[in-house]
Amino acid sequence: MVRRLTENWAEKPDADDYPAAEHYLSLLMRVARAKRLVLPPENLHVARDIKKVNAGKPLSPVLLVRGQIGATEVPLTVADGYHRIAPATTSTRTRTSPAASST
């Protein structure tokens, strides 16, 4: 007999999930900056979003996609909001950056 698995997700993340993710992502962002994969603060769109963040205004989520198209595995890709990643790494405010993903 095959046992059917069901999804059982909590409504909210555990208390230690955000600090752990922040630590991991800060390491990745250092690598991304070193490789110049993050747009600079001087970029028109990045500068506009930094002003929004510093004014306490929320940014739209970064939209991420990954999965499989036919036989091709698609890695995690920023579908929209690439310029919103930089303000999250340069702002003096500490905030979580939500992302909507599709797998």
Structure tokens at 32: 């991304």
Number of C-beta neighbours around residue 14 at 10 A: 8
Q: What is the mean pLDDT of residues 71-98?
A: 72
- Contacts (Cβ under 8 Å, ≥6 apart) of 59: 49, 52, 53, 81, 84, 87, 97
pLDDT tens digit string along 24-73? 777 777 776 666 777 888 899 999 999 998 899 988 888 888 888 888 88
Q: Decide if pLDDT at 22 tops 90.
A: no
